[in-house]
Chain A
Amino acid sequence: KAGVTQTPRYLIKTRGQQVTLSCSPISGHRSVSWYQQTPGQGLQFLFEYFSETQRNKGNFPGRFSGRQFSNSRSEMNVSTLELGDSALYLCASSFGGEFEKLFFGSGTQLSVL
Chain B
Amino acid sequence: KNQVEQSPQSLIILEGKNCTLQCNYTVSPFSNLRWYKQDTGRGPVSLTIMTFSENTKSNGRYTATLDADTKQSSLHITASQLSDSASYICVVSARGSQGNLIFGKGTKLSVKP
Contact = CB atoms under 8 A, between A and B. Distances in A.
Interface in A74-96: 90, 92, 94, 96
Interface in B1-37: 31-32, 34
A48 B100 contact: yes
Interface residues of A, number: 28
Pick from A33, A44, A103, A104 the residue with the most CB of B within 10 Å.
A104
B93 interface: yes
A31 B41 contact: no
Interface of A is mostly: strand
Nearest to A9: B41
Contacts of A31: 98-99
Interface of B: 31-32, 34, 41-46, 49, 51, 89, 91, 93, 95-106
